[in-house]
């Protein structure tokens, strides 16, 4: 195991000494620290100088990555080897963003033509919607599209459509895209109250097409459409099914069973993990909002990051360096909490997206060989828009008892395309205000009381100890391309960490038992049989639900 390697032991010894030093001392000791720990690629700048490490730390961490076989693992991932060992398949989300002229032969088959055929089908579909020619069963153009999906079939498209709202194409028939994921139906119920069934279409997004959350919403949506539209002039159920549903899944069979018209099925492949799937057909809502050219630019940006990841030596490789900062914090400084703090309202859902990407991928405690790891893996990761979080949980970052690693994310340019000069000037002022807050917060977290000149005596409740590590990620501008690169950066970071920890980031067996037990519990709730098999607490909860239903 990696914690038995020479590099790990050296890092432990090094950490024992370095962890005593405050970040302010490290800055004082290394005048060229900013340059030493800053790298650029694909429209992104990563400044790791506010991590609690030194140049020597990085040398040790690079040796650890070498001993863990990171360079070879990157090659195996991108070449399509079966890196998802427990499910015996490759993890080839990177193939979804290869250009049409590329070729990737995996186990005798070139995957690129099929990937681009799907993109072509998406292009045709989006063109129909944007021309106002995708019509509902009564002949009216579709205006509202509701994505029904959960986890990777929801969070990626949700996050990206919000992030790229500035990139809606002009002069097209506008499609409003909505997302409903919750199994209790509360999001969907709200749409069903507000939307017109004649002009509403549902995209059923589910890799497996067995997820109960999504299928429950889908069944409710189908009943709603049938109740309101069927029986009208020439409107039969087949027409409603064809014109009001698109299915996106890796299972054609299950889409057929549910009743999705074959012409309106978009397929993807078992070798794309759910939380890595926004780059293909699952990204249809993104393409409906931004248009296909912006969707393709998103893929181009991600591909630029893939090339950087493959071709750049580890010491200059953004995903590798970001991963190593995390490894250092978790495994050697014992920092088990990580906060994601974007300073751009368009990235409202970025933290939620990363929560799944990081914790569903690396929230594991056994190695590929099934042995218990003897070290910590994925930290607890959460976040929210930085400016809003300043008024919510930053108190804990500044004066609480937990050490927390933070990622500050911000675009350097904003509002260049606002036409009205006065409004543009105001908004640019707001952007500067936001950047000032972003830079100030990472500085105060680093320096604590030393961030201010006036260092007179102060009571304890007004003191700041600082020394919280952070990374700052600057986007030249938030565009489809830089967003693609940003997401790919985190995907690869997760992979590098998993490689070092010796765990599989591409399965999620941990969620299966809960699904099974929920099924059993639902049977008891519905049938009123089998309560005695439950523990006392769960029994009382079920009885309370029954009593509420009867009252």
Closer to ligand F6P by CB, 391 or 516: give it: 516
**Residue 257: how many other CB atoms lie within 10 Å:** 10
> Within 13 Å and on the Cβ side, how many CA atoms surround 312?
18
Q: Report the alpha-carbon distance of residue 536 to residue 524 in Å, rounded.
A: 14
Q: Tell me which of 152, 383, 466, 502 binds ligand F6P, using CB under 6 A.
A: 152
The residues annotated as belonging to the active site are 360, 391, 515
From the list 145-153, 340-348, 404-412, 521-529, the region that binds ligand F6P by CB under 6 A is 145-153
Strand partners, 321: none
Residue 212 in the binding site for ligand F6P (CB under 6 A)? no
| Region of residue 467 (left: phi > 0; alpha: psi -120 to 50; beta: else) | left
- Sign of torsion over alpha carbons 299, 301, 307, 310: negative
H or E element, residue 70:
helix 70-79
Residue 33 in the binding site for ligand F6P (CB under 6 A)? no
Minimum separation from the CB atom of position 159 to ligand F6P (A): 13
Question: What DSSP string describes 31-68?
Answer: TTHHHHTEEEETTEEEE-TTSS--HHHHHHHHHHHHHT
Residue 251 in the binding site for ligand F6P (CB under 6 A)? no
The DSSP 8-state label assigned to residue 486 in this structure reads: H
Closer to ligand F6P by CB, 217 or 470: give it: 217
E-strand spans in 84-162? 105-106, 109-110, 144-148
Minimum separation from the CB atom of position 378 to ligand F6P (A): 15
- Token readout for 331 is 């495994």
Residue 362 in the binding site for ligand F6P (CB under 6 A)? no
Minimum separation from the CB atom of position 206 to ligand F6P (A): 3
Q: Tell me which of 150, 381, 389, 500 binds ligand F6P, using CB under 6 A.
A: 150
Closer to ligand F6P by CB, 274 or 386: give it: 274
Q: Pairing between strand 200-205 and 245-249?
A: parallel
Q: Among 51, 103, 57, 94, which residue's Cα sits nearest to residue 76?
A: 94
Q: How many residues of this chain bind ligand F6P (CB under 6 A)? A: 14
Residue 211 in the binding site for ligand F6P (CB under 6 A)? yes
Minimum separation from the CB atom of position 9 to ligand F6P (A): 36
Residue 35 in the binding site for ligand F6P (CB under 6 A)? no
Residue 208 in the binding site for ligand F6P (CB under 6 A)? yes
- Token readout for 60 is 């040790």
Closer to ligand F6P by CB, 8 or 209: give it: 209
Q: CA Rg, the chain, in Å? A: 25
Residue 93 in the binding site for ligand F6P (CB under 6 A)? no
Ranges within 445-504 binding ligand F6P (CB under 6 A): none
- Which residues sit at the interface with ligand F6P, rule CB under 6 A? 150-153, 206-208, 211, 214, 274-275, 360, 508, 511
């Amino acid at each position: 195991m990696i914690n038995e390697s020479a590099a790990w032991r050296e890092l432990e010894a090094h950490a024992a000494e370095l962890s005593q030093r405050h970040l302010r001392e490290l800055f004082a000791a290394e005048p060229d620290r900013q340059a030493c720990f800053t790298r650029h690629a694909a429209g992104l700048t990563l400044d790791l100088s506010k991590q609690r490490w030194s140049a020597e730390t990085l040398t040790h961490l690079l040796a650890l990555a070498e001993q863990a076989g990171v360079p070879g693992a990157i090659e195996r991932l991108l070449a399509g080897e079966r890196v998802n060992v427990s499910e015996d398949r490759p993890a080839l989300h990177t193939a979804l963003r290869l250009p049409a002229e590329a070729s990737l032969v995996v186990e005798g088959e070139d995957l690129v033509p099929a990937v681009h055929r799907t993109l072509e089908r998406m292009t045709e579909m989006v063109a129909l919607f944007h021309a106002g020619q995708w019509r509902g069963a009564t002949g009216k153009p579709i205006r509202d599209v509701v994505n029904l999906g959960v986890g990777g079939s929801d969070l990626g498209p949700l996050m990206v459509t919000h992030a790229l709202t500035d990139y809606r194409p002009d002069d097209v028939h506008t499609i409003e895209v909505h997302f409903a994921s919750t199994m209790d139906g509360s999001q969907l119920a709200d749409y069903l109250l507000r939307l017109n069934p004649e002009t509403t279409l549902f995209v059923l997004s589910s890799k497996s097409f067995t997820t109960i959350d999504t299928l429950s919403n889908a069944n409710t949506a189908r009943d709603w459409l049938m109740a309101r539209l069927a029986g009208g002039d020439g409107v039969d159920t087949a027409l409603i099914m064809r014109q009001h549903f698109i299915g996106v899944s890796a299972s054609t069979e299950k889409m057929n069973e549910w009743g999705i018209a074959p012409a309106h099925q978009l397929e993807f492949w078992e070798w794309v993990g759910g939380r890595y799937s926004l780059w293909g057909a699952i990204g249809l809502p993104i393409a409906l909002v931004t248009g296909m050219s912006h969707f393709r630019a998103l893929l181009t940006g991600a591909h630029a990051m893939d090339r950087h990841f493959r071709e750049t030596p580890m010491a200059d490789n953004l995903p590798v360096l970001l991963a190593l900062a995390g490894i250092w914090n978790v495994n050697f400084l014992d920092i088990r909490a990580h906060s994601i703090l974007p300073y751009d309202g368009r990235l409202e859902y970025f933290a939620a997206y990363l929560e799944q990407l990081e914790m569903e991928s690396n929230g594991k405690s056994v190695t590929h060989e099934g042995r218990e790891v003897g070290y910590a893996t994925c930290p607890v990761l959460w976040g929210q828009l930085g400016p809003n979080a300043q008024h919510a949980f930053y108190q804990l970052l500044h004066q609480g008892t937990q050490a927390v690693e933070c990622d500050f994310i911000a675009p350097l340019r904003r509002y260049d395309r606002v036409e009205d000069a006065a409004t543009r000037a105001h908004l640019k002022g707001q952007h500067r205000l936001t950047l000032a807050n972003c830079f100030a917060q990472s500085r105060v977290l680093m320096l604590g009381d030393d961030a201010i000149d006036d260092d007179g005596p102060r009571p304890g409740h007004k003191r700041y100890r600082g020394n919280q590590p952070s990374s700052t990620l600057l986007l030249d501008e938030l565009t489809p391309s830089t967003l693609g690169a940003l997401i790919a950066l985190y995907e690869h970071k997760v992979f590098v960490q998993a490689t070092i920890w010796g765990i599989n980031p591409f399965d999620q067996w941990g969620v299966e038992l809960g699904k099974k037990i929920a099924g059993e519990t639902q049977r008891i709730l519905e049938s009123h049989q089998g309560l005695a098999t439950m523990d006392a607490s769960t029994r009382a909860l079920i009885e309370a639900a029954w009593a509420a239903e009867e009252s």
